[in-house]
A and B are shown apart, each in its own frame.
Chain A
Amino acid sequence: MSTTEQVLSDFMDAWNAGRRPRVREYLERVPEGAARDALADQLTTWLEVAPAPEHSPEARAAIRSSAPVASVLAGVGSDAGLWPSVVPRLRNRAGLSIADLASRLVERFGLSPSDRSRTAAYLERLESGSLDGGRVSRRLLDALGAALGPSGATLADAAGFGRGLRPATQALFRAESPPAARTTLDDLTLLSRAALTPADEPADELDRLFTGGPDA
């Protein structure tokens, strides 16, 4: 009887009993190389067909509070999803500062060197969760993926996975009294304010990459 057979069997028993066995710990019980690869393959097959174990309420609470699950559950309802928790770590692992990443994006998209600081500001917003992930262009996500590792689609889902779960907000308006009559002076006041307010700067390529929508 080989060690691999026993380790596989121990894992299956622990899984069925709801004891939450960790695959990584079981893989470490066999030598690296062919034996570990064979065990990993068998564990994969088991995990594909295994029945879901009965977990106690305490076990479910522990799963809920584990780092990956907690970050996913916390990301629901925000426009940035997992980005604030995952993107900074991916960037640090890639050995890049925000300034470095900004420079790469400027070069990748042929932007002006003077756009580096604005690019860095956008990246800071992305990592802090104050950028709407649904407005970021696919081209930018692919470029970020090329620098950080995950594909553009993975990054898109990391931000947007919880959008479909947000309850639709409903606005209720009820008029308490009839609207006050508008005067010509009110209209002129509004028009003059509008004329004196400076127009927003037209969106440039950088703005479109970060806020122009997936197809920008």
Chain B
Amino acid sequence: MRRWWEELVIDFAERMDGLVAAAHRGRLDDDEHEDAVALALARFSARLVDTFDGRSMGELVNACKTLAQFICMDVQRASMRAREAGSLDAGWDQPDGTPPGWEADEAVTRMESAERAAEARDFLAWALPRVTETHRRVMELTLHGAELEEISAELGISRENAYQRRSRGMRELRALKEQYDA
């Protein structure tokens, strides 16, 4: 089991590193970032070992994202205490302006909600048909691993056009994900 777990941690490490970085957007320095990733991987591992019952990789990825957000807030809080800089939660407000909930209980509740969300495959099966057709084709090829040059050639469009369609496709997917997770 340990060998399986180690391979799973390695599988998820890059994704977790990226989610942590996207969550703090440069607010954490290199050491803080590494600590945040380690803490997130430890929490992820604890949840994995305690609750894994054959749940899908997509559900685990959903759990990663919520973990990443809350771990970043925790690590930054320690540094801000030392620097005595403004509000501990500055910059972390929710879009509607309400302060973020960072209490342990709420973090666990949110992580559990994320874990119950459907896996990525089901989400994409639901969402992709709802994406604008010109953007959808580019997203489908991207999700199958095609690089931009291949997509441009396949669809007979310029690189710039391919960039735009990808970006707009991702914006549509993001909006759809928020709907799907709500």
- Give residues in A with beta carbon < 8 Å to B: 1-2, 4-6, 8-9, 12-13, 16-17, 20-24, 27-28, 32, 36-37, 40-53, 60, 63-64, 66-69, 71-73, 75-76, 81-82, 85-86, 89-90, 93-95, 142, 145, 148-154, 157-158, 160-162, 164-165, 167
Contacts and interface: CB of A to CB of B under 8 A. Distances in A.
Residue of B21, B75, B78, B107 with most partner-chain A CB within 10 A = B78
A46 B32 CA distance: 24
Residue of B1, B18, B21, B123 with most partner-chain A CB within 10 A = B18
Contacts of A64: 6, 10
Given A32-B26, A89-B31, A67 B38 contact: yes
A157 B18 contact: no
B16 to A, nearest CB: 8
Contacts of A161: 42-43, 45-46, 49
Nearest to B170: A42
B167 interface: yes
- B contacts with A: majority SS: helix
Nearest to A11: B18
B173 A151 contact: no
A46 B33 CA distance: 20
Interface of B: 1-2, 5-6, 9-11, 13-15, 17-19, 21-23, 25-26, 31-35, 37-39, 41-43, 45-47, 49-50, 57, 61-62, 65, 70-71, 74-79, 81-82, 102-105, 107-108, 120, 123-124, 142-148, 160, 162-164, 166-167, 170-171, 173-174, 177
